[in-house]
Amino acid sequence: MILTKEDQSTVEFQRNETPDFIPPDLWPPCSHDLNPTDYKIWGCMQEHVYKKPICDLAELKQRLVKVWADLEQMIMDEAIDQWRKRLKACVKAKGQHFEHLL
């Protein structure tokens, strides 16, 4: 991974200010198991969006916007709180399946 000078400066700041900071070279590539939207938020939204049948695309869009607006902050906080634990489990599993480690 090649970082710009600005990115390098930001990473260095994070290392100094946040002892548990995970640097970009240890970030995994795109992983649904490590994306808070995928492992927590979307599932919560689906429960509400699909409670009743959807007639058309316009209704789907309307429901998605409404459910997103009504989503409790607590759900977002829980998703973010799980992130570091998931990253550590991923590292422990050497990038392989890690749900069993959570």
pLDDT at position 57: 96
- The percentage of residues in the chain with a pLDDT greater than 70, rounded to a whole number, is 95
Q: Are residues 18 and 62 in the same domain?
A: no
**Quick one: pLDDT at residue 49?**
95
Which range is least confidently modeled, 41-45, 51-55, 65-69, 96-100? 96-100
> What would the DSSP string read from start to end of 5-45?
HHHHHHHHHHHHH-TT---GGGS-SS-GGG-HIIIIIHHHH
Residues 89 and 57 in one domain: yes
- Does 52 lie in the same domain as 23? no
User: How many independent structural domains does the chain possess?
Assistant: 2
Is the domain of 62 the same as that of 86? Answer: yes
Same domain, 44 and 3: no
Q: What is the mean pLDDT of residues 5-31?
A: 79
| Contact (CB, 8 A) for 34 and 87 | yes
Residues 44 and 6 in one domain: no
pTM: 0.56
Residue 22 clears pLDDT 80, i.e. is over it = no
Give the residue numbers spanning the domain of 49: 31-101
Categorize the per-residue pLDDT at 56 as very low, low, confident or very high, splitting at 50, 70 and 90.
Answer: very high
Question: Are 17 and 54 in a shared domain?
Answer: no
69 with 85, same domain: the answer is yes
